[in-house]
A and B are shown apart, each in its own frame.
Chain A
Amino acid sequence: MESGTIVRWLKSEGEPVAKGEPLYELDTDKVTQEVEAEASGVLLKIAVAEGEVEVGRTIAFIGKEGETVAVEAPAPQPKGPDTETVSDTVPEPKRVSEPTTNGRIKASPLARRLARERGIDLASLRGSGPEGRIVAQDVESPAPAAARPASPVASGEVQSQPLSNIRRTIARRLTEAWTVPAFMLTVSADMTRANELVARRRELEPDVRVTVTDLLTRVCAQALVRHPGMNVQYTEDALLSFPNANVGIAVAAPQGLVVPVVHNAEQLSLSQIAQARGDLVGRARDAKLRAEDLEGGTFTISNLGMFEVDQFVAVLNRPQASILAVGATRDQVVPVDGDLHVLPMMTMTLTCDHRAVDGATGAEFLKTIKTFLEDPGLAL
């Protein structure tokens, strides 16, 4: 994480703040989160009211009541750009007119900068300034779509929605991942015993709803420990090997794809994993993930089985070296020792960064996963 965008402050200057209280909302390239105060006292000064700010900049001061602060002084990076405060008392514009659209969008320099910083497409905004110019206020609080002519939207009309930070990040990271030489390996596993185990665990511990994804997390973490050559990352200078299996789980949150991480999954029991996973997924859906929830992953599981997908290929979640794409479990006719059996089969595809991992390494790893799933006792 290099920078984040301060969305709004939840406390105002002069207000008392207790350590641990939500202080402001931060939009990073991974998540929108409430950031808690790190100290108790009075919020003396907000140095950065909103907008993008690099990591390490001083954005506010908490201190004793009556204390004065020099806004610029303690900034660790003196080269930082001037702080700026965007006035929020801009009066209501009187005249509203349509922007002239002969190619060029009329927008003030400030509005352009704010839109750039927040990843908002100017074309999606309506200007309230003179001659339809887009001014800062239009970027900060865009007129709702209802402000457009009230007639129903014509069918087939293209709707333009500004890109959110998270959508931009997904686009950037996946485009980067696409440039990585990758190979894919597919295997199917008999899920009879895995399903039995999950069902039995739910009976025994109804409070902890264990899922197949939890078992997969456990299985993958154990497999990573047994195949340290898979728990790696390729960098320009070196191959990094990780001591712990930090397993990311792809979650379709309302605001877009996020991958919260179950840290040290190799040390967690199945129910501990289920609890951690339940907490992470719940907060992902509520957009309450913290930055540390998203960092440090060494491997990712993407499970689309619940959507009846038979099998698919996942794009690498850079900088991780591999990702497992998991499909639905289906009854299939499988020949076993010369007989035909109907077995619940699940197909998984492992995508590997070929710069870091060779085919055989990936295949051995995938075989271990298959073995663990078919005989889950081995992984417990």
Chain B
Amino acid sequence: MPELSYREAVRDALATAMRQDDGVFIMGEDIAEMGGSMGVTSGMLEEFGRERVRNTPISEMALAGAAIGAALQGMRPVAEIMYEDFMTLAAEQVVNQAAKLRYMSGGQLTVPVVFRTQGGAGWSPGAQHAQQLEAWFVHIPGLKVVFASTPEDVRGLLWSAIYDDNPVVFFEHRTLYGIKGDVPEKIEPIPIGKARVHRRGEDVTVIATGRLVHESLAAAEEAEKQGVSVEVVDPRTLQPLDEETLVASVKKTNRAVVAHEAVTRMGFGAEVASVLQYQAFDWLDAPIERVGAKFSPLPFAPVMEQFVVPHMEDVLEAIMRTVGRGN
């Protein structure tokens, strides 16, 4: 099995699709010569040329709209929104157009577009460049939302997103680009809407997304040393949500922690907790714990950023609270 970084895995999915399919192309701010702000599309200009690796003006609304138009005409565009904070600028096109057109046209139109974007704390990019806004988009009927946490998942899911006939908002986490992992020789599509159980456990289920998957796996290791067996599940697709896998896990362990980097309040985790309490009510032996960022704009100062967003220790504390050993 080859080993790829998360960054290389994204690039591999894009390039492989572009090699086999003329309808797939990428567009975004500074994605050509510069290779994107995170270097994901480095080298792709040389291979695919300017027609298919398109730099756009600094207008997220315009580039999102252009991508939607291309998708309506039968292309499979992948638009990069440099920071997910800037999804707010693209929101009109994504929320009001991409998400609605198939429905409003009675199925005559399809919008097979992918909006790739990235965000997250860790490098102190400040309040306008590090948010986690997936909860905004899971709230919109008509959009699919993916948030992959490993090289294997990001490649297989991006492939499925490109070939999905519906608009997909595809979140990547900035701090994960460098992590490495084994991937299958050939790209194996990972179905949208299927969670992944990273680790089996008996006492507590941690449902985590993005960077928090890795924090949760580390917390699970630590909890194991203290005699608590932790199951870690990554939904991978936030919309549609693989409720079955999550509920089955919690019915087994009777306890749940939901962990994401985004602000806890009104977050994606609230919806997961609601699904669990309703479908596994009689199986719950402790209140569902939620781990997320404090309700604050992200501070620029590294120590403050560190304080606001959750880490392994926060997940571990939540795990321990569910088994009655917390503070």
Chain A residues with CB under 8 Å of chain B are: 82, 84-87, 89-91, 93-95, 108-113, 128-130, 133, 135-136
Contacts and interface: CB of A to CB of B under 8 A. Distances in A.
A136 B324 contact: no
B252 interface: yes
B180 to A, nearest CB: 33
B324 A128 contact: yes
Interface in B245-289: 248, 251-254, 281-286
A93 B323 CA distance: 7
Contacts of A90: 203, 285, 323
A77 to B, nearest CB: 19
A110 B288 CA distance: 13
Contacts of A94: 324-325
Interface in B174-195: none
Interface string B304-326: 00000000000000000101111
A89 B229 contact: yes
Contacts of A111: 285
B106 interface: no
B325 A91 contact: yes
18 contacts: A82-B248, A89-B202, A89-B203, A91-B203, A91-B325, A93-B324, A95-B324, A95-B325, A108-B284, A108-B285, A108-B286, A109-B285, A110-B284, A111-B285, A113-B282, A129-B285, A135-B286, A136-B254
Given A93-B324, A94-B324, A136-B254, A87 B203 contact: yes
A110 B321 CA distance: 17
A93 B254 contact: no
Interface in B199-242: 202-203, 226-229
Nearest to A129: B324
B319 to A, nearest CB: 11
List the 5 closest pairs (A to B, CB-CB), nearest first: A93-B324, A110-B285, A113-B282, A108-B285, A136-B285
A113 B228 CA distance: 23
A130 B321 CA distance: 8
A84 B321 contact: no
Contact of A129 (B229, B248, B282, B286): B286
Contacts of A129: 285-286, 324
A110 B251 CA distance: 10
B253 A110 contact: no
A109 B251 contact: no
Given A87-B202, A93-B323, A136-B285, 13 more contacts: A85-B252, A87-B203, A87-B253, A89-B202, A90-B285, A91-B203, A93-B325, A94-B325, A95-B324, A109-B282, A110-B284, A130-B321, A135-B324
Interface in B90-148: none
Contacts of B251: 82, 84
Nearest to A128: B324
Nearest to A127: B324
Given A87-B203, A90-B203, A91-B227, A110 B324 contact: no
A108 B285 CA distance: 5
B323 A87 contact: no
Interface residues of B, number: 22
Nearest to A81: B282
B71 to A, nearest CB: 41
Interface of B: 202-203, 226-229, 248, 251-254, 281-286, 321, 323-326
Nearest to B251: A84
B285 A91 contact: no
A110 B203 contact: no
A369 B229 CA distance: 67
Contacts of B252: 84-85, 87
B288 to A, nearest CB: 11
Given A94-B324, A130-B321, A84 B283 contact: yes
Nearest to A83: B251
Contacts of B227: 91
A87 B321 CA distance: 17
A135 B281 CA distance: 14
A129 to B, nearest CB: 5
A110 B254 contact: yes
Nearest to B202: A87
Contacts of B202: 87, 89
Contact of A109 (B229, B283, B326): B283
A85 to B, nearest CB: 6
Contacts of B324: 93-95, 128-130, 133, 135
Nearest to A85: B252
Contacts of B226: 91
A86 B281 CA distance: 14
A109 B203 contact: no
Contact of A110 (B228, B283, B325): B283
A79 B301 CA distance: 57
B286 to A, nearest CB: 6
B254 A87 contact: yes
A60 B248 CA distance: 19
Contacts of A136: 254, 285
Contacts of A91: 203, 226-228, 323, 325
Nearest to A110: B285
Nearest to B248: A82
B63 to A, nearest CB: 47
A109 B321 contact: no
Contacts of A130: 286, 321, 324, 326
Contacts of A112: 282
Contacts of A113: 282-283
A90 B325 CA distance: 11
A94 B286 CA distance: 15
Nearest to A91: B227
B321 to A, nearest CB: 7
Of A89, A90, A108, A111, most buried by chain B (CB within 10 Å of CB) is A90
A113 B282 CA distance: 6
Of A87, A95, A112, A136, most buried by chain B (CB within 10 Å of CB) is A87
Contacts of B228: 91
A135 to B, nearest CB: 5
Nearest to A134: B285
B203 A135 contact: no
A110 B325 CA distance: 18
Nearest to B247: A82
B323 A110 contact: no
A86 B227 CA distance: 17
